[in-house]
Structures are given as C-alpha cells and as structure tokens.
Chains A and B, each alone.
Chain A
C-alpha cells in the first residue's frame, strides 16, 4: 500500500515537473539590439522598421496577421464584414479591452485613432505628419480623392469605414501598425508629445525612452489576451554591426537585427546562439523603362530576362538570404500562379530574340543600381556587376550608375534609367504587388502601361472572396510575364540572430514583430 502511494506521489511529482518543463519560463527582460533608434512611437507617424518594432508591442490593430503567415485574422475587432458594394467595412469590437491608462477601447477610440490621420479638421491632425495617410493616398488631398471617405461610429462597439471606391484589398491595411488604436484620453492629454509617451492596448506598456540609447517596455498586467511571458523588453541601440554581434555573444543583448554574411558565420560558430530562419514578403526585381529607350521593345525585355542566370546571382549575392521567384511577387502570397513557366536562363533564346528585334548590337544600356542594402537586395552593386558581365554575351553593353538614396528614387520616379533596381516589401494581398507596382501609380517605375492588365487587377479589388479574385490575378500574371516589364531577382529570406535562451519568437513575413509569445529560458 505504502509503495503504491509512493509510486502515485512520484508519478504526480514527475508529471508536474514535466508540465513545468513544457511551460515557457515566465519573467525576464529581453534586450533587443538594434542599429537605429525609433523616430516616433505614435503608430500613425511610423513608416519604418526601427519604430514599428516597438510600436507593435505597445499598440494593436483591428485585424492582425496569423503568426508566421500572410493571413489576416480579427484582433481588436472580434469580427468584420464587407458590404455588397465593397465600399463599407464594418468592424465589431472586442469588449473588455483596456488601454494602459485604464480607459476602455471602444468605437470612440477607433474613430479617434483613424480620423485624426484622415481628417484635416480633426483637432489632433496638427500633430502629424501621418505618413501612410498622406503618402500612400489614404487621405484626401487638395488634388486627389483619398481611399477613405469617412470613419463612423455605429454604436459603442461597432465602427464603419466608408471608402470612396470599392476595394476589398484595403482590409490588409487594418492589420498594419498605422491603423493601430491609440488611447484618445492619453493622446489628447499629451498632444504633440504622444509620440514620446505612447499608450495603447498591447501586451507591453511604455516605460522609458532615452533617445539613441534605449526604449524600455514593461508587461501590461491587465492585458486582455494571453499575458506575455516576459517581464519587460528593452530595445537598445548598437549602431555598429560588429559591436552588436559582440554584445549578443556576451549576453548584453538577447536578439539583434539581421546581420550580413560575415556576421552570420560568426553567429553560426557560437553554440550559445542561433539564427532563426523565416520567410519574408519582400521581392527584389529589376524594372525596364518601357516608356523610352531600348526596352520599349518587348523582345529586348524578354531577351534580357533569358540572358541573365538568376541562379548565379542568388548564389553569389543572396546566398541563404534569397529564394528564386518567377513573378515580382512573393509566392507566399495567395493568387500566385506557380504553374507559370518564368524565364529560365537560355542564352540561345536571348540571342535569337535580340536578333529578331532588329536592334543593332551592341545595345548600349544603363543600369542604375541600389546604393545600399535593402531587405530584398543585399548588394545592388554586385548584382549590377554580374548583370554587366552576363549581358555582354547576349549583345548588351551595360553602363553601371548609382546615386545617394534620395536622388536614386527621384531618378527612378523620373524614369532616368534603362534598367532600374528596385523591390517591395508588401502585405499579404496580391493587390499590394500586382496593382501597386504595375498600374498607374507612382510605384510603377517601369512606366509600363497595359490596359487589359489594369482592368484585371482593378476588377480583382472589387470582387469578393479569394477564389474569385485569384482567377483574375492568374490572368493578369500571364500578361505580366509575357510583357516582361521586370526581371525578378529573388525573394528575401530572413535570418534573425538570437540567444538560444529566446523561445517562441515567430518571424512574420510582413516584417511585423510581436514579443507577447516570447519567453527566455533560464
């Protein structure tokens, strides 16, 4: 009897021990080492990763991405619906959600958070700039009608967003940080200083910001969802990459920004560290100037595509940080037709197309290359040099050029190139690639115009449901691939360096970072 009792006791202890081992360790401060400080901590003012990685811990949006995917799910909204004419989106809000200042998240807060960015007459609008609403065409400007007409409170827990044009693709933007919900009470109290004293509903609340030094956050004990494991988070600035890696090795940081190929080798060699791999929704591509110069000729664009050995660029420049793609859209996004043939390296075909074009060789072209690292292109110069060497065989004589980043984009927008290097990190909707990059908008650096294509991708905004939209995108992709106003280089892959102690971190393809599920093993 005694032995049975002991046995039962042992089983109970062992059971509880194994349970304890399975559950993540609670507590601990995670130090994240980053290259640059945040610019502002008001989500409406943010348009770059150094600020958004902090903002996304403090604030939350109506919708969010399912961890590790490009699929959106309801978040602060418990559900949503789109009207039959696709011009109204109704969000039903989750109840019982509190801001860090103790006030409730309700329809008034949602209207305040969005309207302050959209409405020039809103009392909080003066504290902008509201980067997305002004620069991405959400808000109405003197010249152009914006995407959002109005944001209306239906009742305390329901909000309606009314659009000027039908657009189902806009839903994805409600999972982005610039539509995060802020505490109206705290914002009105702080005014222009809200960007330095942010108050949201997220799992971590703002504690302290020492400029160019660190931002400290602490766990929000009254968080509505699953309580975060970590007691706090510190985003510490280490401007030098080498010093950042050394800080990680020494345990002064637990996770750092992605590093270059040499840094990755150092991290791989340290058994106490790991590189977590994740897909990102970033695509690097070249665009041909389809308005002027030799690449007005479709055959030359196709010839260029066949003449370049993309696998060689992947091996020599991207290494593990890139994956081949056929379209200028990551295949992680739904609506990508994987059965399309793409342009595999074929020098004979390239030469034949050049000959068929009737343009005398050598064809003199200029290639402008990116002056700095981008998530979708680790080394623009090296890519350009490989292109220059490979194109010679097919009859192209390439001259390479670059500028500082500001001038670079000015020249791209002005069409001052034959072949330009660009890329895009987008949301989980094909619209953010196929419509944004190749229609009338300013992102169409190739200045390519195709009416059938534009009709298809515009219609795809207005039909409901993924299957119906996918059909239209498949048709559009066929046209795009045949017309070839682009050459796809690669999709970016992220390797995030961190200590082995860090558990539960998920890489989101859209670049979003969440630390609510992260823990530190002791």
Chain B
C-alpha cells in the first residue's frame, strides 16, 4: 500500500507538468492581450508595449515557457496581472469557500442520491423507481442558472426563509478562523457564546449547495441503482434471503456495501469537479469561490492566474482520486495494492 501511494504521488509531478504545459500553450490560441486589458481599453500603444515587456510577453514562447516552468518548480505561481498579488494567495483566499460548498453539496447529493438509488433498485419498475429516475434525469438536465434563480425567488423572496446569496450576513463581520464559515460559526458558538454566526453561515450555504447538488445527486442515484440491481441478482443475496434475513439487512448490509464501490468512484469524481469551482452557482449565489475567480481570470486574460489555478485544481483532483483509491481498499477488503 505504502509503495503504491508513493508511486501515485510521484505520478502527480508529470501529470501537473503536463497540465501546466498544455494550459500554457493553449493561451496562445485565445485572442486578446492581457497588457491591453489591464491598462484599460484606451491605453496608449506605447504603454501597452512597455507593460508587455515588463511581463515578458514580448519574449519568444519557448523562453516564456522556460521562465514560467522554472518558477513553478520553485512553487512560485507568479503574480496575478490583474491585482499584482501572488497567485497562490489569490487561490488560498478563495479555496476554502469552494471546498466548503463542495462538501456540503456532496453530502446532500450523496445522502439523497444513495437513498433514491437504493429505493429505485429495491422497488424496481414501481412508481418509486419511476419518480426517482425521472427526478434524476431532471436533475442532470436542468440548467443551474435557471434553477439557482428559481431557488432564490421561491425560498429567499416568496417564502423569505433564506438569504439570496453570499456566505454570511454581510453586516456580520466575522473574522474567519479556518475559512470554512459553517465551521467558524460553530467555533464562535463556544468562543463568543453567539449562535448567530453559525446559523447565518448555515442559512447561506443551503441554496447554493442545493443547486450544486442536483447534478451529482442525479448521477449518484443512477449509479447506485444500477450497481444495486446488479448485486441484488447475485446468488449470495438469494442465499441471504433464503436464510431468512430481514430484507433491510439484506439490502443495506449485504447488497449496499458491495454496490458502494462505483458509488464512491462517482462521488470522488464529482467532488473533484466541484473543486474546480462551480462558475454558475458561484455567480448566481455571490459565492466567492475559485470558479468565479478563474472565470474572471480567463475573461481578463490573466494567464498566470489561470495557469496557477488550473495547476492547483489538478493537484486537488489527483489527490482526491488517490483518496478514493485508498477508500476502495477499506470498503472492499479484497482490493490490495
């Protein structure tokens, strides 16, 4: 296991280098000049030239690539053209918001998706199965920008139950401790004997997490259903039933645990996707995460931010996949690396 993990860790390096190289050269295909965009629409051609030289954009591509890669090797992702701040700081400022939203939405998606999948599989071809599967089809198909606005209109405006966006009531200026606001709010309960931060953080995350959960929920439900159906047809399930085990025990203890492998894979993949940021969800719910930041970086041709962001997200994605592999061994003792 240790050897396997070490091998996987070492594989991260060429993968990152490959991703960074690809993104680096892809940028030359996009039109627009970052220097011109940074200096404003009516900057003098001379000043654009000076800034291009300052940023090294006038150098040959190969030279730019070597300079950039040598910096990346030293863990220096450069400074954002737009703000002048180190890219890594820009990422770390926003990453907790993305991770928090991803975790909450995935927990929602996993619980509801697994339940829906198991119910659909055990009640195959019944109304429950039909509802769960049509529901998951809707979940995959519905556009997030539309769903997000509908959630805001219904739950924030009409029912007045939840806020429209943001991470916390903006008039509550909480000093973050971990950067995960729900966790920080929880800490504040003990630190300041004040529940309001936690409640506010919780209320703010519900709608964006629900919007973001729709697609993974639908995928998880479908994967769970098909895995469960396959397992439920196996001989050992028939044996378990023949032994007179209660159906609940057959489903959850015998079938579900074995059906979990593809479900964990899909949860891992969805979590990885979420970490790259959910541009639409973050935009609609004013969630200051990495998706919206990367999107704006692309629009303003902030290449160093885009490259750094992609590299960072790739590392996170690979590490999550690694974690999933480790979880496999835990869930299925037959798997050994």
Contacts and interface: CB of A to CB of B under 8 A. Distances in A.
B40 A48 contact: yes
A131 B39 contact: yes
Nearest to B152: A246
A301 interface: no
A239 B283 contact: yes
Interface stretch (A160-168, A247-255, A334-342, A473-481): A247-255
20 contacts: A129-B38, A129-B39, A134-B51, A141-B47, A196-B85, A210-B288, A212-B93, A212-B292, A234-B170, A240-B145, A243-B148, A243-B164, A243-B284, A246-B153, A246-B164, A250-B163, A404-B31, A407-B32, A409-B36, A442-B42
Contacts of A392: none
B288 A47 contact: no
A194 to B, nearest CB: 11
B84 interface: yes
A242 B282 CA distance: 13
Contacts of A129: 38-39, 51, 54, 84
Nearest to A207: B173
B173 A208 contact: yes
B33 A406 contact: yes
B90 interface: yes
A39 B44 contact: no
B157 A249 contact: yes
B36 A410 contact: yes
B243 interface: no
Given A213-B167, A246-B164, 5 more contacts: A135-B40, A137-B44, A216-B173, A243-B286, A410-B36
Nearest to A244: B286
Interface string A232-269: 00101111101100110110100000000000000000
Given A31-B171, A242-B149, A135 B43 contact: yes
A186 to B, nearest CB: 18
B292 A239 contact: yes
A352 interface: no
Contacts of A170: none
Chain B residues touching A, range:
35 or more
B283 A211 contact: no
Interface in B277-329: 282-286, 288-289, 292-293, 296, 301
Contacts of A45: 84
A144 B39 CA distance: 18
Interface in A107-154: 129, 131, 134-137, 141, 143-144
B41 A409 contact: yes
Contact of B286 (A39, A135, A207, A239): A239
The 8 A-B residue pairs with the shortest CB-CB distance, nearest first, are A406-B32, A212-B288, A213-B288, A135-B47, A135-B43, A239-B283, A238-B286, A247-B164
A360 B45 CA distance: 36
Contacts of B156: 246, 250
A207 B93 CA distance: 17
Contacts of A239: 282-284, 286, 292
B165 interface: yes
A141 B293 contact: no
B31 A406 contact: yes
Given A212-B293, A237-B288, A405-B32, A47 B40 contact: yes
Interface-centre pick from B83, B90, B156, B301 (highest chain A CB count, 10 A): B83
Given A129-B51, A216-B173, A442-B45, A39 B82 contact: yes
B183 interface: no
B27 interface: no
B285 A243 contact: yes
Contacts of A192: 84
A443 interface: yes
A390 interface: no
Interface of B: 31-33, 36-47, 50-51, 54, 82-85, 90, 93-94, 97, 145, 148-149, 152-153, 156-157, 160, 163-167, 170-171, 173, 282-286, 288-289, 292-293, 296, 301
A233 to B, nearest CB: 11
Contacts of A247: 164-165, 286
Contacts of A234: 170-171
Contacts of A403: 31
A176 interface: no
A39 B170 CA distance: 20
Contacts of B165: 238, 243, 247, 252
B41 A143 contact: no
Interface string A429-452: 000000000000111000000000
Contact of A413 (B45, B163, B164): B45
A240 B283 contact: yes
Given A40-B83, A252-B164, A404 B285 contact: no
Nearest to B175: A208
A36 B293 CA distance: 10
A130 to B, nearest CB: 10
Contact of B170 (A212, A214, A249, A443): A214
A275 interface: no
A243 B94 CA distance: 20
A195 interface: yes
Contact of A211 (B46, B90, B157, B282): B90
Interface string A29-51: 10100001001100001011000
A141 B46 contact: yes
Interface in A205-221: 207-208, 210-214, 216
Nearest to A442: B44
Nearest to B156: A250
B33 A240 contact: no
Contacts of A39: 82-83
A112 to B, nearest CB: 20
Contacts of A211: 90, 93-94, 288, 293
Contacts of A31: 170-171
Contact of A252 (B46, B163, B282, B289): B163
Contact of B37 (A36, A40, A238, A406): A406
Nearest to A31: B170
B170 A406 contact: no
B157 A246 contact: yes
Contacts of B283: 239-240, 243
